[in-house]
A and B are shown apart, each in its own frame.
Chain A
Amino acid sequence: MKRGARPALRQAQRAVLRALAVFCVAGALLTGCHEETGGRQTLTFWTFGREGEAMQALLAPFEQAHPGIQVRVQQLPLSAAHQKLLTAYAGGSMPDLMQLGNTWLPEMVALDAVEPLDARVAHSTVIQPADYFDSIWATNRIDGRLYGVPWYVDTRLLFYRVDLLRQAGFDHPPRTWAEWRQMLAALSDPAEHRYGILLPTNEYEQLMSLALEQPDPLLRDGNRYGNFESAGFKRALSFYVDTFRLHQAPAISNVVAGNPWEEFGRGVYAFYFSGPWNIGEFRSRLPASAQSTWDTAPLPGPDGPGTGAAGGASLVIFRGSSHKEAAWALIQYLSEPAVQRRFYELVGDMPPRRSAWAGGALSRDPKAQAFRVQLEHVKPTPPVPEWERIANEMQLAAARVIAGELSVDQACAALDQRVDAILEKRRWVLDHRKEGR
Chain B
Amino acid sequence: MNRQRVAWLFLTPALIVLGVFFLLPVLGALALSFTDYDLYALADPHNVRFVGLHNYWALLHRPVFWAALGHTAYFVAVGVPLSMVVSLGAALLLNSPLAKARAFFRTALFAPVVTTVVAVAIVWRYLFNTKYGLVNALLEWLGLHPVDWLGDPHWAMPTIILFAVWKNFGYNMIIFMAGLQAIPAELYEAARMDGATPWRQLRHITLPLLQPTLLMVAILTVSGYFQLFAEPYVITEGGPLQSTVSVLYLMYDEGFTWWNLGSASAVAFVLFIVMFAVTALMLRLSRRSLREGELA
Contact = CB atoms under 8 A, between A and B. Distances in A.
Contact of A256 (B39, B49, B150): B150
A396 interface: yes
Nearest to B240: A253
Interface stretch (A105-113, A183-191, A235-243, A334-342): A105-113
Contacts of A23: none
A111 B130 contact: no
B257 interface: yes
A255 B125 contact: yes
Contacts of B240: 201-202, 253, 256, 399
Interface in B9-25: none
B103 interface: no
Given A83-B256, A396-B242, A425-B38, A255 B131 contact: no
B129 interface: yes
Contacts of B241: 396, 399-400, 403, 405
B150 A111 contact: no
B36 interface: yes
Given A258-B129, A399-B241, A86 B259 contact: yes
A202 B237 contact: yes
Nearest to A251: B151
A252 interface: yes
A389 interface: yes
Given A255-B237, A256-B130, A400-B241, A111 B153 contact: no
A400 B63 CA distance: 13
Contacts of A252: 130, 151
Nearest to A389: B258
Interface of B is mostly: loop
A432 B47 CA distance: 9
Contacts of B258: 389
Contacts of A253: 151, 237, 239-240
Contacts, number: 66
A203 B132 CA distance: 22
B272 interface: no
Contact of B40 (A110, A201, A258): A110
Interface string A77-90: 00000110010011
A90 B42 contact: yes
A385 interface: yes
Interface in B227-250: 235-237, 239-242
Nearest to A256: B151
B27 interface: no
Contacts of A110: 39-40, 43
A421 B186 CA distance: 68
Given A86-B42, A110-B39, A429 B47 contact: yes
Nearest to A263: B131
A275 B40 CA distance: 32
Nearest to A436: B46
Nearest to A385: B39
Contact of B131 (A111, A251, A258, A425): A258
B42 A89 contact: yes
A421 B43 CA distance: 20
Nearest to B125: A255
Contacts of B148: 256
A17 B242 CA distance: 63
A255 B38 contact: no
B239 A202 contact: yes
B151 A111 contact: no
Contacts of A111: 39, 42-43
Interface string B43-56: 11001010000000
A191 to B, nearest CB: 15
A362 B239 CA distance: 38
Contacts of A396: 241-242
B47 A258 contact: no
Nearest to B153: A403
A202 B131 CA distance: 19
A256 B151 CA distance: 6
A425 B36 contact: yes
Contacts of A82: 257
Nearest to A259: B132
Contacts of B153: 403
A111 B38 CA distance: 11
Interface string B250-270: 000000111100000000000
Nearest to A253: B239
The listed residue with most B CB atoms (<10 A of its CB), out of A107, A252, A256, A405, is A256
Contacts of A89: 42
Contacts of B58: 421
A26 B256 CA distance: 37
B236 A107 contact: no
Interface string A361-397: 0000000000000000000000001000100000010
Contact of B236 (A112, A251, A255): A255
A255 B150 contact: yes
Given A255-B125, A258-B131, A429 B40 contact: yes
A38 B13 CA distance: 45
Given A253-B151, A256-B130, A112 B43 contact: yes
Contacts of A258: 129, 131-132
Contacts of B132: 258
Contacts of B125: 255
Contacts of B151: 251-253, 256
Contacts of B43: 110-112
Contacts of B131: 258
Q: Sorted from nearest, which 8 A-B pairs have the closest CB atoms?
A: A256-B151, A111-B43, A429-B40, A389-B258, A252-B151, A253-B239, A83-B256, A202-B239
Given A112-B44, A251-B151, 9 more contacts: A82-B257, A89-B42, A110-B43, A111-B39, A201-B240, A255-B150, A256-B151, A385-B40, A396-B242
Interface of A: 82-83, 86, 89-90, 107, 110-112, 201-202, 251-253, 255-256, 258, 385, 389, 396, 399-400, 403, 405, 421, 425-426, 428-429, 432
15 contacts: A83-B257, A110-B39, A201-B240, A202-B239, A253-B237, A255-B237, A255-B239, A385-B39, A385-B40, A389-B257, A389-B258, A396-B241, A425-B40, A426-B40, A429-B47
